Each structure stands twice: as structure tokens, then as C-alpha cells.
Structure 1
Amino acid sequence: MNKSEQLRQAFENIVNEMKTCGAWDAPAPAPEAYENMGAFGMKTMALEQWLKYVFVPAVQECVDGKRPWPPTSSVGAHAIREFDGANDRAELVSRLCEFDHLFRG
């Protein structure tokens, strides 16, 4: 499996886990939440919202070949901090870390 295929599979695993753990049910942020939202939307929205409404669409564009893959990813590292102690998000954190790992080499 080449890197693009690995990234596509990792992305599908993230979306599936978001649906399994309930993160997919995050409500849409208000339109103004997208202005000056900061890294991972930290200033204006919950991580679940950022994942569904910012991360997923951006990665889908990469999967579809509409934009290049970024050179790095640290979404898993951020999720470790954000979801610390949230056992219901442990598998999602693992999936996000697997995604990050694909950018390391």
C-alpha cells in the first residue's frame, strides 16, 4: 500500500471511529467560530467540532486530489492533550496518532 492509500485508510478509520464514539454528532459551530479559531479551533470550538467541520473536509480534499497533503500532522498529539482522561475518546486518539505517524517517514 503506498503512502496515499495508507493516508486514505487512516482517514477512513478516523471518520469511522468518530461515528462510533459519538464525536461525529458534534453540532456545527456558529459561522463566526471559523474566524480567528486558532490551531485546532481551540479558541472558538470543541475539538470534536474542529475535527468534523474543519479537519475532515480538508483531509477529504487531499484524498480527492483537490489539494496536496500537508508536510506534517500533529492532530494526534493535540488530541492526546485535549482528550486526556476521556476513555470514550481513547480509540479516536489512537487513530489520530496513527494518521500523524504516516507523516513521519
Structure 2
Amino acid sequence: MVQNDKVKALLEQINEEMVRLDLWQSTLPSEEALASTEPFCCDTLTFCQWLEFVLLPKMTMLIDSGLPLPQEFEIYPMAEESWQGAVKDVSHLLTLIKELDSQFN
């Protein structure tokens, strides 16, 4: 239960930081885009969209439903690659994502 609380707090902080950086979108991607079978939906979504519309809701649903969380989890390398050369300072967001990864590895 302690891990779930830590994970949920990190998910909320990631959400807040994305909003603060103006990386949060209000328009839901199409069902086809969300149905991608590629890792991170990389063929249909940006990494930010994947975080917002796939990862954050799914992880929150697992925690709220009392379902088991993934045993292995690593998204930091993709986040780092996606935001390489970003105009905005995403360093705090990357730190939060690294902390999220550390809860599973």
C-alpha cells in the first residue's frame, strides 16, 4: 500500500508539472491513435500525449481499483530522448519520471 501511495503522489506531481509547463492538452486523441500497439504509442502519439492519455489514467485506475501495479517499469529513457533539446526546462519533470521508475526497479 505504501508503494501505491508513493506512485499515486508521483503521478499527481507529473500531471501538475505537465500542466505548469503547458504540456497538458485538452483534446483527446482519436480512438485509433490510442489503440496503437507500439511501445509508448510512438507511431500515433507524442510522448506527452502518451503520458497524459495512456500512462497516467491507467496507473491511476490500477491504484484506485486495488489492482497490482507492473513489476517492471522504465519510461525515463524514453522521456529523456523525447525531450532532448526541449525549449522548456523539463528537468523537474524528468526527475519525477526517474523517481516513478525507481518505484518499480
> Shared topology, TM-score over 0.5?
yes
Gaps of 5+ in 2: none
Deviation at 1:27, TM superposition (A): 3.4
User: Number of aligned pairs?
Assistant: 104
- Structure 1 equivalent of residue 96 of structure 2: 95
* Aligned Cα root-mean-square deviation (Å): 1.9
Helix, strand or coil at the partner of 2:45: coil
- Structure 1 equivalent of residue 14 of structure 2: 14
Code of the residue aligned with 1:101 in structure 2: it is S
CA distance in 1, matches of 2:72, 2:54: 16
Question: What percentage of aligned pairs have identical amino acids?
Answer: 26
CA distance in 2, matches of 1:34, 1:11: 19
TM-score, length of structure 1 as denominator length:
0.85
Gaps of 5+ in 1: none
2:78 matches 1:83: no
Deviations, residues 38-90 of structure 1 (Å, cap 9, x unaligned): 11110111111111111111011122035320112112221011111214322
Higher helix proportion, which one? 1
In structure 2, the CA distance between the partners of 1:46 and 1:27, relative to structure 1 (3 Å rule), is farther
In structure 2, the CA distance between the partners of 1:35 and 1:11, relative to structure 1 (3 Å rule), is closer
CA distance in 2, matches of 1:18, 1:26: 12
Judge conservation of contact 1:37–1:45 (CA < 8 Å) in 2. no
Structure 1 residue ranges, 4+ long, deviating more than 3 angstroms after superposition: none
TM-score, length of structure 2 as denominator length:
0.85
